[in-house]
Amino acid sequence: MDASAAKMIGAGIACLGLIGAGIGIGNIFGNYLNGALRNPSAADAQFARVLVGAAFAEALGLFALVIAILILYS
């Protein structure tokens, strides 16, 4: 197997890390909706924190994407 083919396969496998990002973000928003439906008056105050949490979870998925791009282009 030559290097460029291995790079493509490596980049594809590195993208599997985005599964974790999807699960994490879904988890955060699902829990927020759960709580918001029980206590709607307290929901708006916490929305900023939901976005911060989602950004953390998304960041880890994007680290996997960065590794994939690094493998593919260097």
Binding residues (CB under 8 A) for other proteins: these are: 48, 51-52, 55, 58-59, 62-63, 65-66, 69
CB burial of residue 42 (10 Å; 0-12, 13-18, 19+): exposed
Q: Hey, is 10 helix, strand or coil?
A: helix
CA 50, distance to chain mean position in Å, is 14
Which of 65, 71 has the CB closer to other proteins?
65
Smallest gap, in angstroms, from Cβ of residue 61 to other proteins?
A: 9
Smallest gap, in angstroms, from Cβ of residue 26 to other proteins?
A: 17
Which of 43, 65 has the CB closer to other proteins?
65
Spatial distance between the Cα atoms of 31 and 54, rounded to a whole number of angstroms: 12
Smallest gap, in angstroms, from Cβ of residue 1 to other proteins?
A: 25
